[in-house]
Chain A
Amino acid sequence: MVGGGIAGIQAALELADAGHRVYLVEREPSIGGHMAQYDKTFPTLDCAACILTPRMVSVGSHPNITLLTWSEVEKVDGYVGNFTATIRKKARYVNVDLCTGCGICQEKCPKIVIDTVYEAGLAHRKAVYTPFPQAVPKYPVVDMPNCTYFLKGKCKACQKFCPTEAIDFDQQDEVITVEVGNIILATGFDLFDARRISQYGYGRLANVFTSLEFERMTNASGPTNGAIVLRDGKRIPRTVGIIHCVGSRDCNYNTYCSAICCMQSLKFAHLVKERTGATVYNFYIDMRTPAKDYDEFYQRVLEEGTLFVRGKVAEVTDAARMFGEEGQLIIQVEDTLAGYQRRIPVDMAILSAALEPRRDAGDVAKKFGISCSANGWFIEKHPKLDPVATMTEGVFIAGCVSGPKDIPASVVQGAAAAARVLGRIQQGEIELEPIRATVDEARCSGCRICNDLCPFNAISFVAEREVTEINAALCQGCGTCVAACPAGAISGTGFSNEQILSQIDGLLLRNVEPLDLVAV
């Protein structure tokens, strides 16, 4: 299992409960993923932490799950049933066998760092930290690039105060290899960088927030303890504008629909209304609420009195042009239902930013031998009939890696991927594509031209017989050696020279007749 978000957690638990060993690899110090950052989940508005953290704890304490957080997969070799994954366990500088998770190191650490990952830049953490109180595992991580000791060579406050002497500044990265039969990738998404749309002013205008910042703000354990306030941390907004489709459904950025933004924006509208009583505007292109109970939630938000303006926002600006606009953000939008331009002054603007593939999705895909679409989402074996499998046998995908998804859909995919893996394990033997290359030893001259061509090292030279041999288990059937063999000694199942030449002749058969008539 690669990725410890909700999809990965679901898949890991399904497999572990069925009695199979699972290695769960997570890049961050704790599992939980994006869901751990949220406060409420649509459409039922149950608290994300309340439903997620018990599952995280189950993963952490499950006897069948080996949890490898603060770790990354470096290399994958082998094939379905026999993968060897090389995993780098980054140095935590904390001995997890001694650490009790008491948190004294975090209290004593003098270095304060802005938390750009978990708190979306809204709050601070120490240089030794767990991302959040319910983190699984509970052991903290020393943030090496920011730690005073690593920067200046002295400090070690955490080491001094640690009651169990668990802080170990000499720890090194550890590289381990594990043998696995199947791999599930659930590495999730990155949020669109709203700075790229400069006319919306994010990063320039203080009171423009991204959806993730707002999520953290509404979270009761977040930087403002759940209070919805402006950037100064004090004033409560009286009008709030929520802008949909920021970076999605936009030919300049991403053409796809991010699937969750409509519901997320409706949830924001509800939370703002509930907690501040402010006037809320939603600026949408189209309202998309297709799943169970979603449209009911839309109706509820409508009845609560949220105002909806259909149109793509042109600009968010602080340049007042009319009386009453001073000191506010003005949202310039064409109301396409009413048919005129509007300028709507608000105190706070929230950008519902698009979901994008992880920035390193291409590298990850290459590492695991699967393919990415032009956008960067991983490609499923079949978009309808096989949405969690990939073209590579034994590698499955779940959650947002294959495209934007909400939590229920990610959980479904996690469980589905686990079911596919279970099916594979249960079968015991698996059927592989029969497309393999074989050597006719009688015709092989032992020239060894093919030996260097194979990317999978399936071809080896047998010195005593002076012929080349192909390992059928390693051969993937690309056919490069077949094409290269000067003696025609190598043949590919289903793609032999005779078969392909017959296809060419077959395709051109009809072509021959009219040309025959053109006599010279």
Chain B
Amino acid sequence: MSDQRLPFEPVIVGFTCNWCSYRAADLAGTARIKYPPNVRLIRLMCSGRLDPTFVLRAFAGGADGVLLTGCHPGECHYLEQNYKALRRFRLLQRTLAGVGIEPERVRLVWASAAEGAQLAKAIETAVEDIRAMGPLHWMGRVPVRPEITVAQPAAEAGAAVEVGG
């Protein structure tokens, strides 16, 4: 049984762009700026790499929220791919609403490499908002694909994380 005395801690998967928000998170770290540990960051080369499948997979795997971050409009390292991320984000919100998930559980934040403090603030807000929304309880309602619930061999999973992150 889950312990009712503990406050609900949402689990949020964050996708960060290598050139801006990932460095902003790094900057927040080196500057010892604190942000809630509820967000677990995955580095992509660009927010344009974000396949909407990733977001759905995160929700399916038990995440309560997903944070997408990228460079400010006009500042994309790859010229304009963050606009493509923006389009996919809008599409995603509609899709999520369609399957009964609050569209606010996925959010998009622009943060440049210099904006460590701003990113930390945005993460804090996201965590608080999603905490207020409560857990998604997706796992309890829908049968989950076996390969998600069953732990993969530790070595393999570890290797994949290392290559990417």
Residues of A within 8 A of B (CB): 366, 369, 371, 373-375, 379, 391, 435, 453, 455-456, 476-480, 482-484, 492, 494-495, 497-509, 511-512, 514-520
Count the B residues whose beta carbon is within 8 Å of the partner chain — how many? Answer: 52
* CA distance in complex: A515, B80 (Å): 39
> A503 touching B114 by the CB < 8 A rule?
no
Give every chain B residue within 8 A of A505 (Cβ-Cβ).
57, 61, 147-148, 152, 157
Contacts of A478 in B (CB 8 A): 45-46, 48-49, 77-78, 81
* Docked-complex contact B46 and A504, CB < 8 angstroms: no
Q: A502-B152, A505-B157 are in contact. Are A492 and B49 (CB under 8 A)?
A: yes
Report yes or no: A492 in contact with B45, Cβ–Cβ below 8 A. yes
Chain A residues, Cβ within 8 Å of B114 = 373-375, 379
The docked-state distance in angstroms from the alpha carbon of A375 to that of B84 is 27
Contact A391 B77 (CB under 8 A): yes
Tell me if B90 is interfacial: C-beta within 8 Å of chain A: no
9 closest pairs, A vs B, by CB? A479-B49, A480-B48, A502-B160, A478-B46, A478-B78, A508-B61, A455-B79, A373-B114, A483-B51
Would you call A504 and B163 a contact (CB within 8 A)?
no
- With a cutoff of 8 Å between Cβ atoms, the chain B residues found around residue A501 in the complex are 53-54, 57
A435, B44: Cα distance in complex, Å:
11
Given A500-B54, A503-B160, A506-B157, A515–B45 Cβ distance below 8 Å? Answer: no
Cβ of A435 and Cβ of B157 under 8 Å apart? no
Query: Does the CB pair A479–B42 fall under 8 Å?
Result: no
- Tell me whether A508 and B115 are in contact (CB under 8 A): no
A379: B residues at CB distance < 8 A: 113-114
In the complex formed, the residue of B with least CB distance to A392 is: B77
- A366 to B80 Cα, complex, angstroms: 12
Most buried by A among B20, B156, B164: B164
Q: Give A479 to B50 CA distance when docked, in angstroms.
A: 8
B75 CB–A CB distance under 8 Å:
yes
B75 CB, nearest partner CB in chain A, Å:
7
A483 to B158 CA separation, bound complex (whole angstroms) = 23
CB of B23, distance to nearest CB on chain A (Å): 9
Is B161 interfacial (CB-CB < 8 Å)? yes
- Contacts A369-B77, A499-B160, A511-B11 hold; do A504 and B115 have CB atoms under 8 A apart? no
Q: Indicate if B140 sits at the interface (CB-CB under 8 A).
A: yes
A509 nearest in chain B by CB position? B151
Tell me which residues across on chain B come within 8 A of A453, comparing CB atoms. Answer: 48, 84
Cβ contact within 8 Å between B45 and A495: yes
Min distance, Cβ A248 to any Cβ of chain B, angstroms? 17
Interchain CB contact under 8 A, A503 and B161: yes
CA distance A517 to B160 in the complex (A): 28
Would you call A508 and B51 a contact (CB within 8 A)? no
Report yes or no: B61 in contact with A511, Cβ–Cβ below 8 A: yes
- The answer to whether B164 and A494 touch across the interface, beta carbons within 8 angstroms, is yes
Q: How far is the CA of A408 from the CA of B113 in the complex (A)?
A: 28
Asked whether, in the complex, the Cβ of B149 is within 8 Å of the Cβ of A512, the reply is yes
Bound form: Cα–Cα A477–B40 in Å: 23
Cβ of B13 within 8 Å of any chain A Cβ, yes or no, is: yes
Q: Is the CB of A479 within 8 A of B58?
A: no
- With the chains together, A484 CA to B160 CA distance in Å? 22
Question: Is B165 interfacial (CB-CB < 8 Å)?
Answer: yes
Asked if B45 and A500 make an inter-chain contact with CB atoms under 8 angstroms apart, the answer reads: no
Q: Could you name 17 residue pairs across A and B whose Cβ atoms are closer than 8 Å?
A: A371-B75, A379-B113, A391-B19, A478-B45, A478-B48, A478-B78, A479-B48, A483-B49, A483-B51, A492-B45, A497-B51, A505-B147, A505-B152, A508-B63, A517-B2, A519-B140, A520-B140
Asked if A480 meets B49 with Cβ closer than 8 Å, knowing A512-B61, A514-B2, the reply is yes
